[in-house]
Amino acid sequence: MKTIVYFDSGCPVCAAGAAHWRGRDWARRTEWVDLMEQPEALAPEGVSFAAAMETLHVRDRSGRLVAGGDAFLLLWDQLPGWRWVSRLVRAAGLRRLFDRAYRWHSRGRFEKRCSSGTCPVPGAGSKA
């Protein structure tokens, strides 16, 4: 089983980020699920579409689902040349701070997009 990254292609920053990280996955250890194309992908986990759109979610190879900064660390663990960043954040005891910073940064992202009149419709995503 590959590490699965759930992302929002309707968000320009998120789509660009997904394209960037996919390009760094030379070993092809990740699979990418566009939540705009599969809005119910995380529903079996009890994660609503709105909650899924609020923050990055990643499923590790054992099936465990993580979100937020921990999801980024898990993604970086899979990418040649980026594992050291993940290890450094953990070793320095910065995991919680990193998670808080990420969640602060992504807070309200989906709702803000909707309030600006550009709220995407699930099922109409674009490929990253």
User: Measuring CA to CA, how many Å separate 6 from each of 54, 58, 71, 125, 127?
Assistant: 11, 6, 10, 13, 13
Number of separate helices (H) and strands (E) present in the chain: 6, 4
Q: What are phi and psi of 79, to 5 degrees?
A: -105, 120
Quote the pLDDT of residue 34.
Answer: 95
Per cent of the chain over pLDDT 90 is: 59
The per-residue pLDDT for range 37-72, each reduced to its tens digit, is 999 999 999 998 888 888 899 999 999 999 999 999
Mean pLDDT of 70-83: 93
Which pLDDT band holds residue 114 (cuts at 50, 70, 90)? Answer: low
Quote the pLDDT of residue 53.
Answer: 85
Quote the pLDDT of residue 120.
Answer: 58
Mean pLDDT of 18-47: 94
* The two structure tokens encoding residue 65: 């689902």
- Helix/strand/coil for 33: strand
End-to-end CA distance of the chain: 21
Q: Is the pLDDT assigned to residue 1 strictly greater than 70?
A: yes
Q: Is the pLDDT assigned to residue 19 strictly greater than 90?
A: yes
- What is the reported pTM? 0.82
Mean pLDDT of 16-34: 93
Contact assessment for residue 76 and residue 85, using Cβ atoms and an 8 Å cutoff: yes
Strand partners, 59: 4, 65
